[in-house]
Every structure is written in C-alpha cells, then in structure tokens.
C-alpha cells in the first residue's frame, strides 16, 4: 500500500516532529511525511534502526530527515531537542506522539518503580512534548498534535495494566489540550491503531495462530501493517482535517 496515494500540499515544507520515528509504525510515519515534502525531525533510542532508515530514505529521495538520539523519559532532553528543531528548521507545525513500549507484565509483579517508569515512557512525554511545541505552533499560526492511543484499551486485555492505563489516559490528554489550545488554532487528536503487525510484534508476541485470532475479530480480514497507519496520520496533520479536534480515530480493521 502506498503512503503517497493522497498528496497534501500544505504538508510540503511543514516542520514535523515524531517521537519513536526510527522503526515500526514510527518509521512508516517518518517516511510518509518525508514523501510529502515535510521537514521531518524524529527522536528514537534505536540508533542502528534510525540510521538504516535515514540511508534508505536518502537512497530513494536524495535527502533524509533529521534524527536525534533521545530517551524520551528525559523530559529536559526531549524539550531541548524540540527547541533546537524549532530554531534550525522553523516552528514545528505537527507533533506526532508515537513512541511507546507495550512490554507485557503481570499485575502481581508491578511495583511503584516499574509503574512510574512505564508512565515516564508511555504517557509523560506526550504532555511535555506538546507543552514544548505549542509556543512554536502559536508562532506558526496553528498546528496539529496527534497522540497515539491503543485498541488494547477497548479489548480488556490482560498483562498490560500499566500500558493500557497510559494509553487510556492519552485520550484524556487529547481532550483537555484540544480545549486549551483550540483558541490558537491548534488541533489535538488521538490515533488508535489496531493490532499492527510490526517486526517487533512478530518477534515478541504474535505467531500464526495469533494472527488468525486477530483477523477473526476484525471486520476486515486483513493484516494491519504500518503503512495502514501513516495515511490517517497525514490526514490529521493536513488542512483537510482543519475542523477536527478532540477526537479518536481508530485504524483497526473494525475490531474495536
């Protein structure tokens, strides 16, 4: 599936900032925005995957996005990079809060330190990234913030208590920021992916029988891939969604 089927002229030249943009869904987002002609900056902790992505994109297009190594649990580092991107590329107009970690965990084994660490990765960076980019978006006359939720919240899955709590909270954050920032023409929405079959998911959680089970619950009997997620994110970043804010958009094959 091509992520360039729709072309959004207002995304060309736009400064876009993506967390976790080096692999999986994030890599598809980075590539899709770059193909639209955006000035893409992304952060990740996986240097090898991120540099490989940069090389692939450069081979295909002759240019590459801007990569910054960052552990997003370090709020000061994340906000400093956002400031640097704004100073070098121009005001950020789209923020995609994509980065997260869905490692499984038994509720009996969770202690305060683990809980706090999971929130510091799966929830806290969304707010502080938004806090840092909002003044830049105000300067630019508006913008779009896209927070990533998860279909797991609707499925009542086990062994994901801290992850699902963070993802449920993501839409609460979306709703509140949509109200606070709407006066500045900044839209805030939640993108809710379904069971997207990434390399990581295949390595850690999903086998052939799991895929069959997933598709048995979906209305559409298809494998959800990263390239199915990028086009709706482009839409939420574009002027075509200029009247949409505070909403959840599910891309799940009809599971939820």
DSSP state of 255: -
Q: Is residue 208 part of a domain?
A: no
Q: Check residue 204 and give its pLDDT.
A: 60
Number of independent structural domains in the chain: 1
C-alpha 240/C-alpha 244 separation (Å) is 9
**Token pair in block for residue 186:** 């900044």
Supply the range of the domain harboring residue 88.
9-195+228-251
Q: Is residue 92 part of a domain?
A: yes
Q: Is residue 160 part of a domain?
A: yes
Domain with residue 144: its CATH number is 3.40.50.720
Identify which of 237, 253, 239 has the alpha carbon closest to the alpha carbon of residue 32.
237
Q: Is residue 2 part of a domain?
A: no
Q: Is residue 203 part of a domain?
A: no
2 vs 37, more confident: 37
114 is catalytic: no
Is there a contact between 16 and 237 (Cβ–Cβ < 8 Å)? yes
C-alpha 189/C-alpha 38 separation (Å) is 20
Of 46-60, 189-203, 214-228, which range is least confident? Answer: 189-203
Q: Is residue 94 part of a domain?
A: yes
Q: Is residue 168 part of a domain?
A: yes
C-alpha 230/C-alpha 223 separation (Å) is 15
- Active-site residue (options: 8, 67, 68, 163): 163
Q: Is residue 1 part of a domain?
A: no
DSSP state of 2: -
pLDDT in tens, 143-195: 999 999 999 898 878 888 999 999 999 999 999 999 999 999 999 999 999 88
CB atoms within 10 A of CB 114: 12
pLDDT in tens, 119-143: 999 999 999 999 999 999 999 999 9
Residue 100: exposure state from Cβ atoms within 10 A (0-12, 13-18, ≥19):
buried
Identify which of 194, 195, 190 has the alpha carbon closest to the alpha carbon of residue 248.
190
C-alpha 96/C-alpha 19 separation (Å) is 6
């Amino acid at each position: 599936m091509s992520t360039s089927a729709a072309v959004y002229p207002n995304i060309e030249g736009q400064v876009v900032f993506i967390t976790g943009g080096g692999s999986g869904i994030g890599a598809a987002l980075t590539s899709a925005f770059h193909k639209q002609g955006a000035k893409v900056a992304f952060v990740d902790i996986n240097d090898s995957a991120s540099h490989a992505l940069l090389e692939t994109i450069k081979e295909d297009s002759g240019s590459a996005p801007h990569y910054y190594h960052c552990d997003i649990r370090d709020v000061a580092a994340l906000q400093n990079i956002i400031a640097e991107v704004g100073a070098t590329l121009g005001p950020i107009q789209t923020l995609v809060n994509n980065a997260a970690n869905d490692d499984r965990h038994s509720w009996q084994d969770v202690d305060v330190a683990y809980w706090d660490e999971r929130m510091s990765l799966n929830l806290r960076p969304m707010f502080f990234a938004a806090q840092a980019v909002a003044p830049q978006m105000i300067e630019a006359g508006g913008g779009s913030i896209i927070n990533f939720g998860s279909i797991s919240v609707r499925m009542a899955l086990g062994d994901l208590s801290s992850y699902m709590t963070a993802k449920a909270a993501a839409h609460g954050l979306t709703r509140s920021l949509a109200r606070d920032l709407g006066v500045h023409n900044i839209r805030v929405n939640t993108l809710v992916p379904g069971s997207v079959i990434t390399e990581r998911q295949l390595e850690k959680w999903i086998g052939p029988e799991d895929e069959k089970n997933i598709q048995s619950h979906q209305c559409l009997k298809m494998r959800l891939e990263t390239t199915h997620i990028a086009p709706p994110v482009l839409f939420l970043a574009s002027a075509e969604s200029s009247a949409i804010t505070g909403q959840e958009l599910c891309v799940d094959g009809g599971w939820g």
